[in-house]
Amino acid sequence: MMRFGAILAVFLGASTAAAMAADPALSPQANAAYLAAYAHKPGAVRTADGLEYRIIQHGKGARPAASDLVDVYYWGTLINGKLFDQTKPGVPAQFPVNGVIPGWTEALLLMREGDRWELAIPANLAYGSSGAGDAVPPDQTLVFEVSLVKVTHP
């Protein structure tokens, strides 16, 4: 009976991910259209590899290096607005700059303490074709708002 439960759980998880991926609002065309439209937002910047961002608030603090730790507040959504991750109010997350998805690493290396940015991260700089469990289907552009609170040198 436990084996059936495990098989059922795997099937339900796979069908949930498949249903999310089948959502037309998350199609490859919708992701491409989102990035194309984002590039035309006021203040939008696009890097050579496709990361797009807008600076919401300028900070004046330290800029992290790849080997540093950063404390950040953030929330992340899919392009359809579905929230898949966020920090708790008053509790920033701490990450190594070079230990996150490539789009985050690239953005963090450009940010300063006190900055608040909106990021549009194409799938190739996020979780790519593997996705991230049930939260992020494969091949999805991710949208984050990130506030860089503190840089710590190891």
**pLDDT for the residue numbered 36:** 98
Per-residue pLDDT of the chain (154 residues; tens, 9 = 90+): 444 344 434 444 444 444 444 688 999 999 999 999 999 999 999 999 999 999 999 999 999 999 999 999 999 999 999 999 999 999 999 999 999 999 999 999 999 999 999 999 999 999 999 999 999 999 999 999 999 999 999 8
Q: pLDDT tens for residues 99-111?
A: 999 999 999 999 9
DSSP label at residue 65: P
Looking at domain 2-152, its CATH architecture is Roll (3.10)
Which stretches does DSSP call E strand in 9-139? 45-46, 52-57, 69-78, 83-86, 93-96, 116-121
State pTM to two decimals: 0.84
Q: Which residue has the tokens 């998880």?
A: 13
Q: How far apart are CA 107 and CA 119, in angstroms?
A: 8
